[in-house]
Amino acid sequence: MRPFDVAQDRLPATGNSKRIKILSFAFCAMLMALCASAEAQQPGKIFRIGFLDSSTAAGSAALVDAFRQELSKLGWIESKNIVIDFRYGQGKLDRYPELAGEMVRLKVDLIVVEGTGLAVAAKRATTTIPIVVTNAAGLVGLGLVDSLARPGGNVTGFGSLTPELNTKRLEILKDTVPKLIRVGLLFLAGGVSAELQLKELRPAALALKLKLEEIETQAVAESLASAFQTAKQKQVGAIMMQSTRPLLMERKRIVELADKYGLPAIYPQKGYVEAGGLMSYGTDLTDNYRRAAVYVDKILRGAKPAELPVQQATKFEFVINLKAAKQIGLTIPVRVLERANQVIK
């Protein structure tokens, strides 16, 4: 047989050899991927989740329940494959760094945080433990993430659009209260959340030709009472609150003071209206907590927070309480009522 013929006879064997090598390589790659996935999920391991909240256990109960229920739907059962360590700031901003540091010392696998202040504290405490934010503003501006699309570090989660929503609240107040000139803003000094919101509100008030009276307060009875006295002295025609959980904790007292001084008020959360307040416009926080549970699930199964985009709130609620309006002798214009998701009669 000629050399040419021998070479030709060997071609099919060489082709089969290549196919076998390719199949072997593919099989090995698939096996490695399966092993990596199995390693990420670690069957039998109990993951430890740290949960930082600026409020109290009672004040956050409904939101935490929504978070737990969503985790359960995704297959995460407490004491079986997860343990959740809760820490509450109880409205004290100076406690945030201490609570974040405690989570690091506990060596949790992931930290869930509520609010901008706690997000900053958690990021300062660790650059390696994944952090999922349930509700915060200014994540890019504060340097917590590189961008919304590609966070790039250990922080991801859900934005609140709080500064932008404050502008909307001002607009609603102007449409609701005839000849409104001055609006009192109650805020807690010393936190990054207040700075972000004031930065947005000041130019918004100017654009609407409203005078914004900035009234510093604390989330305690005496300070709140003093803040409302100041608001009355400044002859404000309406008030609004900084969107922050410590003030939400005192919503019943705040609503009673607004009624006492006959001041129309718009609040950042529905909880104020449920406590008897006039109206609220803000994020549906329950939805954010459910979506945060989905991110927790993804990360515990191997996803990297650096690659999970920060998502903005998508559900908003505008609630009006006509009983509260009647108590202070205010008639809500029809054009405002028509925009509400819920009207309490």
Domain ranges of the chain: 47-160+285-312, 162-283+316-344
**Matching fold, domains 47-160+285-312 and 162-283+316-344:** yes
In whole angstroms, what is the distance from residue 18 CA to residue 20 CA? 5
CA dihedral 135, 138, 142, 143 (to 10 degrees): 80
pTM of the model: 0.78
Look up the CATH architecture of domain 47-160+285-312: 3-Layer(aba) Sandwich (3.40)
In the chain, which residues have pLDDT < 50? 1-14, 18, 20, 22-23, 28-29, 31, 33-41
Give me 162's structure tokens.
């709080």
CATH for 162-283+316-344, among 3.40.50.300, 3.20.20.450, 3.40.50.2300, 3.40.718.10?
A: 3.40.50.2300
| Cβ contact 110:296 at 8 Å | yes
* Polymer length in residues for the chain: 345
pLDDT of amino acid 24: 52
Q: Give just the sign of the alpha carbon dihedral 191, 192, 194, 195.
A: positive
- State pLDDT tens for residues 55-77: 889 888 999 999 999 999 999 99
In whole angstroms, what is the distance from residue 198 CA to residue 160 CA? 15
Give me 5's structure tokens.
């013929």
In whole angstroms, what is the distance from residue 28 CA to residue 10 CA? 27
pLDDT of amino acid 284: 87
In which element (H, E) is residue 84 found? strand 82-88
Q: DSSP for 115-153, please give it.
A: SHHHHHHHHHH-SSS-EEEEEES-TTTTTS-S-SS---S
Count the neighbouring beta carbons within 10 Å of the beta carbon of residue 172: 20
pLDDT of amino acid 128: 97
pLDDT of amino acid 5: 41
pLDDT of amino acid 195: 83
Count the neighbouring beta carbons within 10 Å of the beta carbon of residue 208: 15
